[in-house]
Chain A
Amino acid sequence: MEYVNPEGLRLDGRRPMEMRQLRAEIGVVSRADGSASFEMGNTKVIAAVYGPREVQNRSQQMNDQALVRCEYSMANFSTGDRRRKTKGDRRSTEISLVIRQTMEACILTHLMPRSQIDIYVQVLQADGGTRSACINAATLALADAGIPMRDLVTSCSAGYLNSTPLLDLNYLEDSAGGADVTVGILPKLDKVTLLQMDAKLPMDIFENVMQLAVEGCKAVESHIREILLENAQTLVIRQGYGS
């Protein structure tokens, strides 16, 4: 199948190095301590953060740092064909773990000993790149909850199909069988915190594809920063400090 046509356009009309439209909103779950929704094209996820709060299970309490927990769940209607999935299957357990580790690496856990931070991500629509969208939503929700972080973690995926590196794969491209590289970075510290790839790629092409994903992460970061700034400005105005 042709994923990039001779004019250089992809199935959904994007250029190889073009991202899908990003949309984000802060404060979508009013009762959570922090929450955000994040959309990458047709992929839509919601993240809610509860904490820092008392540790629920005493045996998990740590005296020198906060406990970070994460649960990933997919709505029944999120995929094209309706499927009733059991909670806690292998895929969601793995994604929960990935998100937890990525977020834990950027939260300043040592500032909140003997406490617990819960991150819940809920996929409303899945169209490829849910992993990345979840991490981006979780970053926004953590920032909204006012949890101290080293940096904003952002994530994006890139792939390689028809001898072309492609940024931000959708479901069709993702299931095409080519390589899929998901990268998460700390943009200001310039560090990679998450790197996953399946299928195979020659070494030199991998470098290109990964570089493309990193560029995507940086684009996401600038969008997230804009959203946070906008949110901070409205908060300032609501509190009556605006001019």
Chain B
Amino acid sequence: MLEADLECFFFDEAVLYLSFHTWDKKMVGLSVGERNFIKGGIAQDLRNDGRKRLTYRPIYVETGVIPQANGSAKVKLGATDVIASVKAELGKPSLSHPDQGKVFIYVECSPTAEPSFEGRGGEELSTELSTALERSLLGGKSGAGAGIDPASLLIKEGKVCWDLYVDCLVISSDGNLLDALGAAIKAALSNTGIPRVQFREAASTDEHADVDVSDEEFLQFDTSGVPVIVTLTKVGRHYIVDATSEEESLMSSAVSISVNRRGLICGLTKRGGAGLDPSVILDMISVAKHVSEQLINKLDSEIEAAERANEEEP
């Protein structure tokens, strides 16, 4: 079964990283009895909140929550609550890739989610989440496998391009932040309108080139290629999707796989101290591919519903 499955996978510049997880080891304060109860439930495919091992919590999407941004969305996954906003600014393409725009992802962890994020406490987790998201959604250095085609952000080769700043904020955290952030970014990008731009070449050498930004015409992104992230968390001998923070505190390792609509793997991150058998990883990938199909469909219908609700409002 595994061999047959393998053929349909293309590791699209997938990189395997081993990193220390900061967010799984935080103190949740479970007793031995509670830990055994959660582990026992997972072994019997009936989790604390009544879910099966491969069931997500209900997901709610709201778009256009930040009016000043070009696009924004709020995603709720159980008690996990995140906001993503997209701001587009005119910039200059990098020297190594003059034919591409740039996308940056920043995550901020608000202390409202967890008192330990106070001051600089959330910085480590923020950086870890930002890099994991960039790895999952932006593809490799060449831009291949990116959710948003960086060439579509170009206005004039080597001169002007759009810089997309994706800012995320974690408001409330109850596990599975990476999947929620990935979903929020996908929703925010679907909500984003970039002004149409006219580029006028400079008439003479001492004159600056002119950029005309339209405030009426907006271009939408093609977000069908933006992958979703599915994190499989291994607790005991089994793995689960969409772990709560209680379940994350019991994990031995976790693999985050980003899969796009076509079933291609766009990025992969393994976290956690314990080692995984290579065959288990391959098994996890095939499960993630299966789960991602449902997640993408659910997310797309939620985004569509949110967009429709926005239009109906005056």
Question: Which residues of A are in contact with B by a Cβ distance under 8 Å?
Answer: 28-32, 35, 42, 46-48, 50, 56, 71, 73, 75-77, 79-80, 82, 84, 87-88, 118, 120-122, 124-125
Contact = CB atoms under 8 A, between A and B. Distances in A.
Given A48-B111, A84-B106, 16 more contacts: A29-B112, A29-B171, A30-B81, A31-B79, A31-B113, A31-B114, A31-B173, A46-B110, A77-B69, A77-B83, A77-B85, A82-B165, A88-B120, A122-B169, A124-B66, A125-B68
Contacts of B173: 31
A46 B174 CA distance: 18
B193 to A, nearest CB: 16
Interface in B217-239: none
B156 to A, nearest CB: 22
Contacts, number: 89
B134 interface: no
B159 to A, nearest CB: 22
A71 B119 contact: yes
Contacts of A77: 66, 68-69, 72, 83, 85, 87, 167, 169
Q: Which 6 pairs, one residue from A and one from B, show the smallest C-beta to C-beta distance?
A: A48-B112, A77-B85, A76-B167, A120-B111, A30-B79, A29-B172
Contacts of B112: 29, 32, 35, 46-48, 120-122
B45 interface: no
B167 A75 contact: yes
Contacts of A75: 83, 108, 110, 167, 169
Nearest to A88: B119
Nearest to B106: A76
Interface string B36-74: 000000000000000000000000000001111100100
Contacts of A56: 115
B34 interface: no
B210 interface: no
B253 to A, nearest CB: 25
27 contacts: A28-B81, A28-B172, A30-B81, A32-B172, A42-B67, A46-B110, A56-B115, A71-B119, A73-B111, A75-B108, A75-B167, A76-B108, A77-B66, A77-B72, A77-B85, A77-B87, A77-B167, A77-B169, A84-B106, A87-B120, A118-B118, A121-B112, A122-B112, A122-B169, A125-B66, A125-B67, A125-B68
